[in-house]
Structure 1
Amino acid sequence: MKLLSLLLVLFLYAMPALPADKTDSLLQEVSQAIENKETYISKKRERIERLNKVLAENENTSLVRQFEVYNSLYNEYRSFNYDSAFTYALKLQETADKLQDSTRISKARLNLSFILLSSGMFTEALQTLDSVNLKNRPDSIKVDYYAQRARAYYDLSSYNQDKYYSNKYINLGGLYVDSALALTNQNSLQFYSLRGMKHEAVGNFEKAKADFQTVIDKYNPTFHQYAMAAHSLGIIYKALGETDKAVQMMAKAAIADMKSSVTEVVALMNLAELLYNNGDESRAYTYIKQAMEDADFYGARQRKIQVAGILPIIEGERLVTVEGQRRTLFFYAIAVTMLSVLVVAFAFIIFRQLKQLRLAKQSVTEANLRLQEINDKLLEANIIKEEYIGHAFNVHSEYINKLEKFKKSVDTKWMAKKYDEIPHVLKSVNLKKEREALYTDFDKIFMKLFPDFITVFNSYFNEEDKIICKNRDSLNVELRIFALIRIGIHDHEQIARILEYSVSTIYNYKTKVKNKSILPNEEFEKKIMEIKPF
């Protein structure tokens, strides 16, 4: 009887604990939303496609109408895909400049600063805000400007984590929130959101909680507005030590994010961290993996870094847990042989544990595959670097010899007092020819490393849009831009400096090429990076 009692206790211990109904129901809804994610995204893609058709089917669309459509496309992309949102923010700027409409110019710059801030590019975002002229602008522009300034300083405070500078940034943020609130209707969703943000930043959690709850209860927010308010409430409940409520609000925020096709992953990432701290490692692992996929899709470096800081911890702890479960499995198996009456129950437990173990092994296999992929990329990068370093030494050596000869020639003329001949020596240096030689050298060494680059590149286009080069070792401007991207130079300003073009020209070339491609725009550069060397 004692043995039977012990086995029954062990069996009950192995059964999952009954979760709190409300929290568990919300978490099940989160998991269901993840499964339905593609359905929500397909609806967003349909809206984007309709907007693109407006531009494609109306060649003589007015600049005002173009601005409206670009703004709609920007709003669709800004929490969905960073690169596309950035592209349309630039198009808005170009269109506003052509219209010479000061209000639209300010609006376009505010859109650009928002997407830069979302990606963690604080310096660039603040510089863009500095370029916004508020003179004679409507209150809506001013409120947006002050709110973005406040958010920038609050985010800097959170990112900086330095006692002196964090307090300084919080104070600056508060001043800008006050400026925004002074121009905002006190009976509006925006007013309570801004004031709640200020209260949250300075630690007035009860007041912040009241403001964000008002947003949810009183103003019928959109999915995205609801997600932002619920996420802030989750942060506040966590700070107040009310973990269950924090999990519930983060779950609601994550569900709203997925239903509005937001891929910035903040709510889902924080929910995974809360569940991990509560010991729910299985769900935490599922959610943080989805958060990483969303961060990769969104494309902003800040989000990837945030998720990457949490994923290994949860993944490692989950593997430890599964290994511990595997060890206890042996004890359960012995107990089953001793009491045939519990065979069915213990068989069910073993099946469940083995299934978890297989999932864990699959995760390890996937991690090893990712590691192998990283090693392959590192090997490729090392070979490319070695090739270019060797070539660079040769080129620099040649330039040093040329400079030495040039110096000797000038010194000779100077010593001989043939001053009138020195300008002729200077004119003998043909910078245009030297730069062309530099491009020719780049093309040759690149085609040596990537002999199939042009062939694979052209496979992404219809026959009439394929690029034909003069010879197999030379590239035109479009190919040269994407060749630089393939070897790891993604910064548009750096590419512009190398090729002696403006940044907008580089964007125009890239956009023109992507629009001709048979691939979706967001997939094009990913395919370029997959072109194999050697």
Structure 2
Amino acid sequence: MTRILGCLMALLMLQVYVFGKSPQDSLLKELNRSIENAPVYDALKIKGIDSIRRTLATTGADPGARYHIYQLLYEQYKVFNFDSAFVYARLMEKLADEMQDPLRLTYARTRIGFILLSSGMFTETSAFLNSLDVTGMPDSIRSQYYLMKSRFYYDLADYNQDRYYSPSYIHQGSLYMDSALHLMSPASFEYQYNKGLQYYKMGNLAAARGNYPNLNQPGLNYRQLAVAACTLGYIYLHAHQSDTAIELMYRSAIADIKSSTKETMAMYTLATLLFEKGDIKNASHFIEKAIAEAVFYGARQRKVQVSSILPIIEQERINTAEERTRSLLIYASIVTLLLVAVVILAVTVTRQVRKLKVAQEIITAAHLKQQEINNQLLEANKIKEEYVGYCFNIYASYISKIEKLKHALEQKLTDNKPNEVKYLVNNINIRQEREDLFTNFDKVFLKIFPHFVEEFNALFEPANRVALREDELLNTDLRIFALIRIGITDNEKIARILEYSVNTIYAYKTKIKKRSLVPNEEFENRIMAIKAL
């Protein structure tokens, strides 16, 4: 009997463990593993490309065989690297023109249009597509042309986000989509995907979900799974089902990595959704991956879109449209100043051609200065990210405590127990709250500057170094200069944070500087030189 009960308890615990894990947890682990293995997938991709490229030497004077290899190389590069894909599409066009083969020439030009559209070059894409004539071409070329025209108008609508023009663009894109769907088999993946996309763009979310291919059906390759899961994720997102959207973005991002696809929006969208849910750590990790992929691919539209999430944390502090306008004016001023500086530098370099050595030294110095500024900006962004998350956690904790206290006070007042109300108020341990605040600050600070204590002590003789107790992360001496390291240099602000008088803070700083091995006027500069992790 005891053995039977033991087995039942074990089964119950197993069920609790299995059902306690959400699908998102499993997908998160799988995505992190895929990111770790991304160099392996990319190496296999490059190995395959090199294998195809080596066959060019065996084609001899056969233009048809060379065209086919250019086409294979284009297909390998089209979602992997924009510049290489564009080069091989142009080579296909040039060779088809030399062969005087209108079929191959039109196909090559549709590929050029696709890669221009992927790069976000709307003006060039529009002019290029309008110059194509697919009359009399096979259904495969015509369907690709109509799909490209449809995507052009859909992307233009997404880019503009204009209440007047966007509906017109969506309508025009849907007309071209109808033409493309007419040339496809209704049972094909391409038909189901693009029909669902058309419904989605027209706002019919129920029809879009119902028409989408089953993502678990056999035969789907990673690329098909990635595009279908990503678009289906957007559909669920617009239907306000964010959890399902996040799971689909996970699946899409995993498939993109395994297929070495760099022209993608799944990782960026996933990072955005996680940030909105408060998962700052994973959002930051994934947006870094998305930016790296966008830079590797080289498409300007993707780089602009992916980089747009970077100022989101600061965007939380912007409360009015006037503040946003002011920020834009500041950015425009900075760009103008930079342009003026570039013009001045260009004029200076032109005048100093005969003094090349001096000019090179100036450029080198400017480069080092810019690199130093970039490093400082990266460090500042890291500090802001950590402390924004820290502040949110602290505020949430205090709000929870206040809410519990409020409920307790209301209950005691309702029960007419004023003595117990007084007990509740007197039971608030302000000293402990302050100590908890300092402890949390110390943890976050040491996470950013893990070697701060060692480098701080290196400025003193061994006998004068700070010796921390086992239960201490930082003491008052270290905490004063920790605040200075993150940019709080005003004695009055430091005193207010640490609950000391301004004179006490000044006395602490003076005493510490006098014990150091460096001159007093250089001490704080040495503190600011301590690097973040």
Deviation digits for residues 307-346 of structure 1 (CA, Å, limit 9, x no counterpart)? 1110232568733334438979xx9xxx9x99xxxxxxxx
Give 1:130 deviation, angstroms. 2.0
Shift in CA distance, 359/151, structure 1 to aligned 2, threshold 3 Å: farther
Equivalent pair of 1:322/1:357 in contact (CA under 8 Å): no
CA contact (8 A) 2:59 2:66 kept: no
In structure 2, relative to structure 1, the CA distance for the partners of 1:260 and 1:360 (3 Å cut) is farther
Cα distance in structure 1, aligned partners of 2:280 and 2:89: 40
The structure 1 residue matched to 2:386, chosen from 319, 341, 344, is 319
Corresponding residue SS for 1:162: coil
Is the alpha carbon distance of 1:354 and 1:319 closer, same or farther for their aligned partners in structure 2, counting shifts above 3 Å? Answer: closer
Question: How many angstroms does 1:209 deviate by?
Answer: 1.4
Deviations 1:466-511 (A, max 9, x none): xxxxxxxxxxxxxxxxxxxxxxxxxxxxxxxxxxxxxxxxxxxxxx
Once the 2 structures are TM-superposed, how far is the Cα of residue 215 of structure 1 from its aligned partner? 4.7
Q: Is the 8 A contact 1:325 1:353 kept in 2?
A: no
Number of the residue aligned with 1:40 = 41
Q: How does 1:22-41 map to 2 (within 5 A)?
A: 22-41=23-42
Partner of 1:194 in structure 2?
194
Per the alignment, residue 103 of structure 2 pairs with 103
Alignment of 1:113-124 (within 5 A): 113-124=113-124
Partner of 2:16: none
Distance (whole Å) between structure 1 residues aligned to residue 115 and residue 386 of structure 2: 37
Letter in 1 for 2:387: V
- When residues 279 and 19 of structure 1 are mapped into structure 2, their CA distance, relative to the original with a 3 A threshold, is farther
**2:309 matched residue in structure 1:** 310
Using a 3 Å threshold, how does the CA distance of structure 1 residues 141 and 312 change in structure 2: closer, same or farther?
same
Identity over aligned pairs, percent: 37
Distance 2:129 2:179 in 1: 15
Quick one: which amino acid aligns to residue 50 of structure 1?
Answer: S
Paired position in structure 2 for 1:86: 86
Q: CA deviation at 1:166?
A: 0.6
Q: Residue 294 of structure 1 aligns with which residue?
A: 293
CA-atom RMSD in angstroms: 3.0
**Unaligned stretches of 5+ in structure 2?**
1-18, 314-380, 399-428, 433-438, 453-533
Q: Is the CA contact 1:271–1:284 (under 8 Å) kept in the aligned structure 2?
A: yes
In structure 2, do the counterparts of structure 1 residues 322 and 218 end up closer, same or farther at CA, with 3 Å as the change threshold? Answer: closer
TM-score w.r.t. the length of structure 2 is 0.58
1:24 maps to a residue whose letter is: D
Alpha-carbon distance, 1:355 to partner: 6.5
Note if contact 1:188-1:219 (Cα within 8 Å) is conserved in structure 2: no
Q: 1:359 to 1:210 in 2, by over 3 A?
A: farther
Structure-2 separation of matches of 1:253 and 1:53: 32
Q: In the alignment, is the contact (CA less than 8 A) between 1:282 and 1:318 conserved in 2?
A: no
Contact 1:189 1:215 (C-alpha < 8 Å) held by counterparts: no
Q: Contact 1:326/1:357 (CA < 8 Å) preserved in 2?
A: no
The residue that corresponds to 2:259 in the other structure is 260
Report the residue type matching 1:201 in the other structure.
K
| CA distance in structure 1 between the partners assigned to 2:217 and 2:239 by the alignment | 24
Q: How far did residue 226 of structure 1 move?
A: 0.7
What's the counterpart of residue 448 of structure 2? 357
Give the distance between the partners of 1:350 and 1:21, measured in 2 at CA: 32
Query: Contact 1:254/1:267 (CA < 8 Å) preserved in 2?
Result: yes
Task: For 1:139 and 1:326, locate their aligned partners in 2 and report how far apart those are by CA, in whole Å.
Answer: 58
TM-score, normalised on structure 1? Answer: 0.57
Counterpart in 2 of 1:66? 66
In structure 2, how many angstroms separate the alpha carbons of the residues matched to 1:327 and 1:197?
43
Question: SS at the partner of 1:210?
Answer: helix
Distance 1:264 1:69 in 2: 22
Counterparts in 2 of 1:258 and 1:205: CA distance versus 1, 3 Å: same
Contact preservation (8 Å) 1:215, 1:221: no
Aligned to 1:60, the other structure's residue is in SS state coil
Whole-angstrom distance in 1 between the partners of 2:280 and 2:292: 18
The CA deviation at 1:217 is 3.9
> What is the one-letter code of the residue matched to 1:42?
A
Q: Which residue of 2 aligns with 1:167?
A: 167
SS of equivalent to 1:311: coil
**Equivalences for residues 119-268 of structure 1 within 5 A:** 119-212=119-212, 214-218=213-217, 220-268=219-267
Structure 2 Cα separation of the partners of residues 21 and 327 of structure 1:
27
Matched, 1:51 2:58: no
Q: Distance in 1 between matches of 2:451 and 2:124?
A: 42
Distance 1:298 1:96 in 2: 26
Report which stretch shifted further, 112-121 or 128-137.
128-137
Q: Is the 8 A contact 2:386 2:444 kept in 1?
A: no
Letter in 2 for 1:106: T
Q: Deviations over 1:234-281 (max 9, x none)?
A: 101111111110100000000000001011241000000000001101
Letter aligned with residue 27 of structure 1? L
C-alpha separation in 1, matches of 2:238 and 2:21: 21
Distance verdict in 2 for CA 1:198–1:189, change over 3 Å: same
Report whether the alignment pairs 1:278 with 2:369: no
Query: CA offset at residue 176 of structure 1?
Result: 0.5
Q: 1:237 to 1:47 in 2, by over 3 A?
A: same
Structure-2 separation of matches of 1:320 and 1:165: 42
Aligned counterparts, 1:364-403, within 5 A? none
- Which ranges of structure 1 fall in alignment gaps of 5 or more residues? 1-17, 339-346, 362-534
**Partner SS, residue 308 of structure 2:** helix
